[in-house]
Each structure stands twice: as structure tokens, then as C-alpha cells.
């Protein structure tokens, strides 16, 4: 007579669950093109519902929807496998031809990984044949393997900014609280490093990089985008390995509150521009504020007529507490004298300092 083996149980649960077996699929083509592109080419609304509600010339934050990404990629691979079968390609229809949703071609390879290792680490989903049967959509973020699956933050920029400055550097920078103690024992310390309670009357600042960190900033202070996307004509997306809670930080009411992160848009220092401001500043404190109405008071022509410009100009001190003061210390040694001014002085005066804009995540996320 036959018998039936029943595995032992502890409190009603099986002591040892039968393990899943994963069989390698047949060879299949691998296509690493970012598959958000055909989706947004069909319609921007398919990529992001209500995308037209993003205001022109604005920046904001969105959160990824991993369940949607996985559902789209599963459907894409399924239909492609059916097409391969229809065209008599030898397949068991279990291949994962498409695993890249976002565009990762501009990812900064700080770890110097080889091409194949880097490609694999940046793919959005693992191969479909290794997904556990009991898993759910949203639990297969390939970059989060071995960690808690969390939706990532995406910085959205809409407008003419990146059309005018296509090489602008975009990254996330750790914030720090400014402290109430303004006279520490070590006066060389930055306000972020000073002892004392958090001063909520002033804005958070960018965390300072030490000289050793300048060339290769640690990920605890600077994060470059994991991926990008663009919806024509002027909406840009940059994904970061940050959650809403990480980026937003605390309110500063508790001395242990996390300061959160800034999102930075920076003009490249290595691509100098020369010119003048369009609007005249009330006082000339640094040469970067010099404007066209001052140098060329008559209707603008094809060139600057030095003889028509003021005979002499110099910058005035903004005061030691002003953010322009460090620049003033350099600029005060250069003066404008139309009778003796040379090309070196003109080049220095007309040089436009690179612009950096930093917006804290808390300014772009709901207050509650």
C-alpha cells in the first residue's frame, strides 16, 4: 500500500518550504534602448498623466511608480516574445529582451566599472524568469536588489533653461543646518559645523566639501542622476536615489532632525561667458553686476564704444556680511579707466561668473 509524506509543521507552518527552481531561457536578443521613449512618443500622457499641468519655466519633484514600470516592461517583453515566435525565431518566449526603462547613457561612472558590469547594474528590472512566483509588481527594482524597494525622486525641469544651457550640471547636494552659535572656538569652521541649536531663522546651506572631497565627492554629500528622460519640447526628468523622506528632511524643531537635500543646477565653470547684465544694479559692488545701460548708455550698437562709456568706474564694498564680499575682495583691485584700460582688464570685467541655483526639496514637496 502506498504512503503520503507530509512535511513536519511548526505552529501550522511548514518547516521547510520547497525551493523555487529557475531554468535558463533560450538565447534571446538584448536591446538596451530606453523604453520610455516609444511610450512617450505615443503620448506624453502615457508616460506621465496630466503632464501638461507642469507649469512652464518651473522645477518640481515627482515620485517614480515602480509598479507601472514593471507592468509596462512585462507586457513589452511578452509581446516581443510573441513576435519572435511568429517570425520563426527559435525561442521559448521566456527571454527578457527589454530591461531598460530609463535613459542611463549619461550616468556618471564614479566607480570605474567596466561597460558590461555598469550596464547590468543600471538596468531597471531583473530578468523575468528569476522573478519569484509569489512576488508582486513593484518588488523588482533591479537597482534595489537586496534592499527595501523604494520609489525614487525625479527632478522635473520645464522651460527654456536647459535649451539655453544644455551642458548645465544637475545634481543633489546634502544640506546642513546653520547653528545659533556664531562664535565657536574654531572660527574657521563653516556655520554648518558650529555647535549650538539649529537656527530656523536662516536658510539651510549646502554641506561643505573638504579639499580631499572636491575631485570625487562622497555619495553622502553629492548624488548625480541615476537616469534621465525628456518629453519634447521642453520637459526634462532626472532620477535620484533618494526617497521623499530623505530629500525633505526635518523641520529643525528637533536638534536631531535631518537637514535633507538640495537639488542644484550649475553652469559649467569650464565654459566661460563674457557679457553684461541687462538691468542696472543700484550700486556696483562686483564687476559681475556691471550692466549694458552703464557701459553703453546710447542705443546698443554692434560693439562697445569705450569713448562713450564712463571715464572711470570702481566697485564699492557690499559689507563683510554680504555674500558678494569674497568676490569684492578680488574685484576691488581692478578699476575701469577708459584712457588706460586694456584687454586683460576688459576680459576680467566682462567675465560672467558661473551661476549656481540650489533649491531644497522641502520647497518643492507638500508641507505635511
Give yes or no for residue 168 having a pLDDT over 80. yes
pLDDT for the residue numbered 146: 61
Where b means 16+ CB within 10 Å and e means fewer, 93-131 reads eebbbbbbbbbbeebeeeeeeeeeeebeebbbbebbeeb
**DSSP letter at 31?**
B
pLDDT tens by residue, 281-327: 889 999 999 998 888 866 666 678 888 888 899 999 998 888 889 89
pLDDT tens by residue, 83-118: 999 999 999 999 999 999 999 999 988 788 899 999
For residue 155, what are the β-bridge partners? 61, 238
Pairing of strands 205-206, 222-223: unpaired
Which residues lie closer than 8 Å to 187 by C-beta, 6 or more apart? none
Give yes or no for residue 1 having a pLDDT over 70. no
User: How far apart, in whole angstroms, are the C-alpha atoms of residue 280 and residue 284?
Assistant: 9
User: How far apart, in whole angstroms, are the C-alpha atoms of residue 355 and residue 347?
Assistant: 18
For residue 143, CA distances in Å to 38, 90, 149, 235, 279 come to 22, 30, 9, 25, 48
More confident residue, 18 or 292: 292
Which residues lie closer than 8 Å to 349 by C-beta, 6 or more apart? 287, 290, 334, 336
pLDDT for the residue numbered 191: 58
pLDDT tens by residue, 182-220: 554 444 456 566 667 888 888 899 998 888 898 889 999
Measure the CA angle with vertex 213, ends 208 and 217; round to 5°: 90
More confident residue, 305 or 170: 170
At residue 338 the predicted structure's pLDDT band, cuts being 50, 70 and 90, is confident
CA atoms within 13 A on the CB side of 235: 19
| Residue 264, H or E segment | strand 261-266
Instruction: Give the mean pLDDT of 59-66.
Output: 95
Q: Do the beta carbons of residue 287 and residue 179 sit within 8 Å?
A: no
pTM here? 0.82
pLDDT for the residue numbered 299: 66
Amino acid at each position: 500500500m502506498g504512503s503520503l509524506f507530509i512535511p513536519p509543521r511548526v505552529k501550522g507552518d511548514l518547516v521547510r518550504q520547497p525551493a523555487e527552481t529557475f531554468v535558463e531561457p533560450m538565447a534571446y536578443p538584448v536591446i538596451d534602448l530606453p523604453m520610455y521613449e516609444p511610450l512617450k512618443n505615443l503620448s506624453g500622457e502615457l508616460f506621465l498623466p496630466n503632464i501638461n499641468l507642469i507649469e512652464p519655466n518651473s522645477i518640481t519633484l515627482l515620485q517614480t511608480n515602480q509598479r507601472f514600470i514593471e507592468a509596462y516592461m512585462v507586457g513589452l517583453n511578452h509581446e516581443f516574445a510573441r513576435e519572435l515566435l511568429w517570425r520563426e525565431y527559435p525561442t521559448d518566449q521566456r527571454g527578457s529582451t527589454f530591461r531598460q526603462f530609463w535613459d542611463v547613457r549619461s550616468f556618471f561612472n564614479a566607480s570605474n566599472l567596466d561597460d558590461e558590469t555598469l550596464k547590468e547594474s543600471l538596468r531597471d528590472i531583473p530578468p523575468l524568469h528569476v522573478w519569484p512566483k509569489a512576488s508582486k509588481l513593484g518588488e523588482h527594482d533591479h537597482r534595489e536588489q537586496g534592499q527595501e524597494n523604494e520609489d525614487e525622486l525625479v527632478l522635473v525641469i520645464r522651460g527654456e533653461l536647459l535649451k539655453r544651457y544644455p551642458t548645465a550640471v544637475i545634481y543633489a547636494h546634502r544640506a546642513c543646518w546653520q547653528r545659533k552659535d556664531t562664535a565657536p572656538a574654531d572660527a574657521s569652521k563653516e556655520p554648518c559645523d558650529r555647535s549650538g541649536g539649529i537656527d530656523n531663522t536662516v536658510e539651510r546651506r549646502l554641506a561643505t566639501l573638504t579639499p580631499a572631497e572636491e575631485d570625487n565627492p562622497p555619495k553622502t554629500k553629492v548624488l548625480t542622476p541615476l537616469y534621465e528622460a525628456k518629453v519634447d519640447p521642453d520637459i526634462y526628468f532626472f532620477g535620484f536615489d533618494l526617497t521623499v523622506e530623505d530629500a525633505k528632511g526635518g523641520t529643525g524643531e528637533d536638534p536631531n532632525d535631518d537637514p535633507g537635500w538640495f537639488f542644484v543646477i550649475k553652469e559649467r565653470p569650464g565654459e566661460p561667458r563674457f557679457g553684461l547684465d541687462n538691468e542696472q544694479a543700484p550700486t556696483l559692488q562686483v564687476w559681475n553686476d556691471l550692466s549694458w545701460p552703464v557701459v553703453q548708455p546710447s542705443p546698443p550698437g554692434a560693439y562697445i564704444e569705450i569713448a562713450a562709456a564712463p571715464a572711470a568706474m570702481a566697485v564699492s564694498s557690499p559689507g563683510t556680511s554680504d555674500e558678494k564680499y569674497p568676490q569684492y575682495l578680488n574685484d576691488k583691485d581692478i578699476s575701469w579707466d577708459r584712457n588706460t584700460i586694456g584687454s586683460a582688464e576688459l576680459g576680467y570685467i566682462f567675465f560672467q561668473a558661473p551661476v549656481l541655483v540650489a533649491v531644497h526639496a522641502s520647497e518643492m514637496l507638500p508641507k505635511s
